[in-house]
Amino acid sequence: MATQSTINDGALPRPPSPEDPPVSSSHSVQFYEEDSSLIDALARFIGSSLLAGNSAIVIATEAHRKSLVEHLKARGLDTAPAIGEQRFLLLDASETLALFMLDGRPDPDRFLSCMDSLLSRVHAVSKNRAPLAAFGEMVALLWADGNQNAAVELEQLWNRLAETHCFHLHCAYPIHLFADRHDAESIKAICAEHSSVIPGEQYTSITTDQQRQSAIVLLQQKAQSLETEVRERLNAQHTLQERELQLNDFLENAAIGMHWVAEDGTILWANKAELALLGYRPHEYIGHHITEFHADRPVVEDILKRLGNNEELQDYEARVRCSDGSIRDVRIDSNVYRRDGQFIHTRCFTTDITEKKHAQQASFRLAAIVESSDDAIVSKDLNGIVKSWNAGAERIFGYKPEEILGRPITLLIPHDLWGDETRILAKIRSGERIDHFQTVRLHKNGDLIDVSLTVSPIKDKRGGIIGAAKIARDITQQKKLEASLHTTERLASVGRLAATVAHEINNPLESVINFVYLAKQQPEISTETRAFLASADQELARVAHIAQQTLGFYRDNSQPVVLSLAAVIESVLKVYHFKLQNKALQIELQIDPGLTVLALQGEVKQILSNLMANAIDASHQDGAIFIRARAGRHPLSACRGVRITIADNGTGIAPQNKARLFVPFFTTKQAVGTGLGLWITKDLLEKKGGSIQFRSSDSTPTGTVMSIFLPEAPHENSSLR
C-alpha cells in the first residue's frame, strides 16, 4: 500500500460505522512523550471500534496492555465480552515478534502467514464488516533494541498486508528514541511508511492556525539554535581531538623515556624512548612486571613501596636490564596518578645516566691518580696566579696549598729566570705546548731543584685559552745519577740504558698526566673530556708497566726498616686495584700473621710489583691470583727468612722461553714490556741473599708459580745495611 503521510491534530482514525461507505486501510504513527498520552489516545481508538461492534487487536507490552484495559474500564467499557467473543485480542509484542523474526530481521513469508491467519480469524467474528482497529508496538521494540532497519522493514510488511486486508493500523514510538541529531533521516523514513503522523503531545494540543504558526517559528528557532550548538560542539570536539592527538604524539615520541605502572607493578604503557633505551619491543615490555627489568630487586621494591605510600621520587638512581643483557644506570622521577583516592598508575620518567656515571667514575679515578702523583701538577691563569696545587707539588716545593694558592708562580722561579715565565705564558696564549723543558726552580726553604716542565694550555668550553697546566718533575736525583754514570765505561753503559728507558717512560707519562689534568679542570664531562680520558687510559696501560720495571735502576739511600709484609702486599695490591678490576680478577691471600722483613720499602715493593704485574697480564679474564707468605728457609743456605709465592691461572710459560726468563730485555709483551722486570727482581733478591724460582707446566698449561725468598737479616754486601 503506497502511503502519503500527513500530520493531523492528534486524533486517531475513527472506526467506521456500518452505514459508512467502504474505506481502504490506513496506517498512522504517533510519537509520544508520556505513556499516559499514548494510552489515552489508544483508549479512544480501540474503545470506539469495540463500541461499534467491530474487532480490535492490540500487540503491545504487558504494561501498556494492562493500562489500556484499566483505562477503558474507567471510561465505562467492559472489555470482557469482546475478549470472550474473540473479537478483541491482546497479544504480547515480544512473543509475537518471535513468531516471524529470523536472524534479526522479519521474515516476509512468516509475517504474512502469521498476520493473515490472525486478521482473518478476528475479522470473522466481527459484528460488522468494517475494518478492524489494530495497534502494534513491535516496531518500537525493534527500534529500542537498535535494530532500526528491521523496524522499517516491519512497517513495510504491514503496508503489504494492507493490500489483502482492510484494517486501521496505529503504530507508536517514544520520542526519546530519537534524541540523536542524526535521527532526522530516521524519522523521515518512518513517516514515509505511514498515511498520517501524530506529533508529540505539546503540538497536538494546538487548536488555532496562529498557535500553529507560532509553534512552527519556535521549532525553526530551536532547530537553528541546535544546528549552531552542534556546529560549535563539533568544532570543540575537533579541537579536543586535535589536542589529544598532539598530546599522544608528544608522549609517544618524547625524547625522554616514560612509562606507567599499575599498583601491582604491571607495566601499562611505555613510549618509544623507553623501549629504545632498553631495547625491547612493546609486547616484550608492556604487560610484564616492572621487577623483570631491574637489576636490583630491593631497589625496585623500594620504588613501588614509596609510590604506594604516595611519595614523589626525584633523582632516584637505579640499574635496569636491557634486552641484550647489559645493565644501564638510570635516574627515575615518578609520582602516582590517583582518581578519587584510588591508585590508577604511576607517571614515571626514565633518564639514561650510564655515560655520566662512567665519566664520573673515570673522573674520580683520574683525580685520585693526579692527587697521588709523585710529580707536581699545578694550574695557573694567564697572569701567572696559581689556581690548583696537588700533593706532589707540596712534596717537591714545600708549600702547602693555603700558602701558594692565589699567589704568583714566580715564588718558585729564581729571580734570574723570571724571563722564562714571560716566554712560557706568551707561548701558552698562542696555543703552543711546551714539552720536557729542563730548568731550575726554588724550594720553599730556598734550595734549588732541577725540574723537567711540561706546560699545556687550558681551554674553556668555547675553546678559548684561560690558563696553563704545568707538570713539574723533580730530576735532581736523575741529574746526580747521570753525572755519576760517567765515571766508568760500565756506568756509562748503564747510563745510556737508563736514559733510553727513561725516555720510553717520560713521553707516555707526560701525555697521561696532561690528559688527566685537563680532564680534572673541565666543569662537566663533555665529548672533548671523554676523548682525553680514552687517550689517558691507553697511555696509562703502557706507562705503568714500563715505570714499575724501570724504577729498579734507582736506589733508595735511606736506611732499612722493619716492614710488615702484609702491609707491603696490601699497598702493592692498591696500585693494581683498577687493573685487577678491569680483568675481574680475584685475589686469594694466605699470609702468616706477624711476618716482617728488614729492608728498604721501595725495593720490596719493586720486587712484588714486578711479579704482580706479570701475574695480572698472564691471568685469564675472571680468573684468580693466589698470594701466600710464610716463614721458611733458603733452599741452598738454609738460612731463615720469608717465602712469598704468587701464582696465576694463565697459559703458563712456553718451553722455549723458560731458559731466557731472567735475561735482560727478553720479553713476550712487545707492546708494553722492556724485558727488565724479572732481571731487576732477580738482581735485587740475590744482592740481599735471597732467591727467585718459578714453576710452569709444559704439557698442561695451568699457570705460573713465582716463588721468592727474603732472608731474615740483610746480606753483608747489600745496600740494606
pTM comes to 0.37
Tabulate helix, strand, coil % of the chain (nearest 5).
45, 25, 30
| Choice among 31-45, 151-165, 535-549 with the minimum mean pLDDT | 535-549
Cα→Cα distances 195→5, 32, 136, Å? 4, 17, 15
pLDDT-derived band of residue 639, with 50, 70 and 90 as boundaries? confident
**How many Å apart are CA 671 and CA 675, to the nearest integer?**
11
pLDDT at 503: 45
Mean pLDDT of 172-177: 91
Residue 228, pLDDT > 90, answer: no
| Choice among 31-40, 238-247, 293-302, 366-375 with the minimum mean pLDDT | 366-375
pLDDT at 188: 87
Residue 265, pLDDT > 60, answer: yes
State percent of the chain over pLDDT 90: 40
- Is the dihedral angle over the CA atoms 53, 59, 64, 65 positive or is it negative? positive
pLDDT in tens, 191-202: 999 988 888 776
3-state secondary structure of 392: helix
Residue 674, pLDDT > 90, answer: no
Q: Which three cell numbers stand for residue 125?
A: 467474528
pLDDT in tens, 522-544: 666 666 666 666 556 555 554 55
pLDDT at 151: 94
pLDDT at 699: 54
Mean pLDDT of 40-63: 92
| Choice among 97-111, 309-323, 636-650, 689-703 with the minimum mean pLDDT | 689-703
The whole-chain average pLDDT of the chain stands at 82
**How many Å apart are CA 88 and CA 530, to the nearest integer?**
99
DSSP string for 68-133? HHHHHHHTT---HHHHHTTSEEEEEHHHHHHHHEETTEE-HHHHHHHHHHHHHHHHHT-SS-SPEE
Residue 521, pLDDT > 80, answer: no
**How many Å apart are CA 561 and CA 568, to the nearest integer?**
12
pLDDT in tens, 471-515: 999 888 877 766 655 544 454 454 445 544 554 565 455 556 555
Query: What are the residues facing 708 on neighbouring strands?
Result: 644, 692
Mean pLDDT of 336-361: 90
